[in-house]
Structure 1
Amino acid sequence: MSPNPFRRGYDTLSIQLIVHDLQPGSTVRELSYVIHAQDQDQSLVLGVQPTLEQAQGIVQRLSFETGHFSRCWEISAEHLPEDVLNQLFLMRTDLHALQLEFFQNANQSVIGCKLRNTPWTDKHLDLLNTSSAALRQQQLDYGLPAEFVEILHLAGQADVRFLLFDPDAAFLDGLPIFKDVA
């Protein structure tokens, strides 16, 4: 399992054709299509199908059309300290240089943000002439709280586009919990 709680699914999926001779010296063969997945540094066999079409159908269902399981996450506001959460409600809404936009529903105590130009990997951010470390430092220098920036970068690396902090939402395993949130 990934140490980043926002990451879901497999890194890559592939299909391998296996040909078995049913009788030595015979031209009678059995074909199998093995579905492989890459999960970080581990290669997995997800299944074997008798036809290429069936194997392709499974790969398509697992990878989805966009390649993403979900680009919008609603997580508990308790993943941030109360003072940090309050500070976010006072932020400017448009921070394009920091690859971030805020929006809120103050009546429901929900603060959300749109992460721009995800995934926040060095390879992708290089296209913007920056790096993940440089973006993180710019966000901290601007005054974004370190606890928030850490969650932002986990989400950004996982290609999350919208992140909502809601007091009624579920906890996300792997993130710290601050019990002082009202």
Structure 2
Amino acid sequence: EKYQKEIDKAVFPGVQGGPFMHVIAAKAICFKYAMTDDFKNYIANVIKNSKRIAKVFAEEGYRIVSGGTDNHLCLIDLTSQKITGKDAVESLYNAGIVVNKNAIPFDILPPTIASGIRIGTPAVTARGMKEKEMDKIAGQIIVVLKNLNNKEVQEKVRGEILNLCNEFPIYEDMN
């Protein structure tokens, strides 16, 4: 009885609250789309693109956590390059490339700094980019990582990335 009010408040509506109908409807639409050939082709390309980025990094001597990828992202270990995930994220952001810092297994750095970066491919794939463009993107990321905090390099890469984005607009009719 002493804690009954607090427990009741925590359980309902929080944990046992009713379902939100708009969320159920949204999930139904997503599940229906996931059954289409269009989605199957898209997600197959997402995975191909992720594998390609991992391959380019591996060929450049970077360790890919888990030895590769079979999903929408790859995790790159930066310890051999003596770069932190935080520094990589900041330098890449200044070059117009968005990645996430990410801890790697047995990371000695705190998660706020991290020893790796996570690169995802769903957004670039949705724009229509394929493996050829992943070679360019991975190459530009590597250029920035080899020239960390170099403003000249960041500006040059930013221009290359902008050109690539213009080739693959989000909305065709808004170019």
Higher percent of residues as strand: 1
- TM-score, structure 1 normalization: 0.26
When normalised by structure 2's length, the TM-score is 0.27
